[in-house]
Chain A
């Protein structure tokens, strides 16, 4: 006995300490060194100004504005958080619970500022700072703002502020937030618009006070985007569409510049920036977030008759003077396929102008389904247009093989009859209808449509148009037929003639599985030298008449405003 026990205890104790130190300092040394650096070296992000968006006449559509947030640093207020929040709530008439909720939501780590009041006026932010001094921090952040909250929603898309979710940044960073384009042009041209965020590299102490500067990376401002849209036409279309659901597209048939692109119902872009009160948009059964111009496809109805007529001429099945007699219906297979009127004997022009179903049943049955489908594909009805917007949907062109694969069933004469008048399986987007009209108007070129013309001084390169091998003589027949839709005594869009704009178009009333008929009116003007191709599409409007009326209102507003 003696000192043996205690000697052993001391030696083993010191061995434990040395092992622990060896592990901490030698084995895990670099790991902890990194952590120590992250403690005192902070990246203070400097946010780049995002590029603005203008229409073709330099009217501002989207821009950044400065906003002021009040933030707290958790470590600094760790012992007086509740007290501070209750004082703040008294001082600024804000619910204490709101502050606590924001704090919980935005908390990153103990040394990073946490926003508890967001988007204050500059004066208010300064007032709070003066009153609470070092206990709060002002953070100036840019925020996206849209002067037209609803008219351009589907086209522009919006920018969402997000706390970055990367774990290590979250743990050590200075609550960096990132703004990302979430839909529309904001996402499509995000790389041009966003610029480059910069940062100050600083040394801070445990209270987040800056004790030294290590370096700076300057921000690079985002580039401005100039659209082909005309805000006056856009507003007129938005107004003319009233409460209908649908899409209104107008474009230049020579260049592919989109002049008007409205989808309804619309949504408030500015609400989406802050994320306030947007929940209802997602559950609204009218689907306001859906861009009906390109993200949804519909049976084109009688609008399609123009293409069937062209196919008939091209395939030499018919000539303009080919005549069929309408007796109000025709028997095909086991059923009777009806027409709206008893049109009597009609040539091709009259058949287009009065939208006779029987004429096109007969023509379609002669052409046969696969040949109709071939002409659909020639005009890219089954392809996306490649417009500079995200999430575009292609149309659906049926044929025998498709039906066999999809429904394990044969193709019947009735299917061909439906196909001939744009019913049944055929579905296209409103943009595709507008492009079809543009192709008639420009001599058979399929446009590559686009919304953004310039990034600052630089023209944005877009794909050129694709010519369709089709004779100008035959196109002329179609154009003349469409002109008669408006000009003929019995034309289905007769009311538009009083505008004296030389309108040509085709109405469509499309039956569908989801309620009342869809209304279409699609065409171009002026007839002699087309400058505009358009498509008005109204979901469940009952008939094409409503679409014709919307176009009438649109053009009336523009005439009144002396745009046309």
Chain B
């Protein structure tokens, strides 16, 4: 009997300690997305994601054949829909990416590249709950997602010319377009150094 009581007390204390630790974490970080997930959270989330993707979906082979055209279409689609968070080069170092919890992964690295084509497709189509990754599934548009998978495979070898082309395809505000035009004029020498006010200015 004493043994059972001791075990019960230990369990209650452990539960209370876990609750106190969780409360401390919440009070300390609030609901801020600035924090970085702990290794335990990352490992647990990856495992849950892995389990959530049906085995059949994981094993699906990309039906879009590898071609320069498919790659380019995937690239331009990525520039328009994905780069705001993932960056044109897929490293996730963007204003939106840095402000997310969890941060978007560097897609050039193994943790993304080791996923199967089917897993990447599933994630694009269904999103990942409790992250910034939305579901992009639209009826009849699966081919576009498979082309994105082709492009994601290409990311580790992306070239500067491709980044340039993607930049032209990135969504821009009117302010950004005006700024871009001003910079082009400056580089062409149409905007004299001495007459323009101010130096470096904030991007936004």
A and B: real partners?
no
Query: What residues of chain A have their CB less than 8 Å away from a CB belonging to chain B?
Result: none
Query: What residues of chain B have their CB less than 8 Å away from a CB belonging to chain A?
Result: none
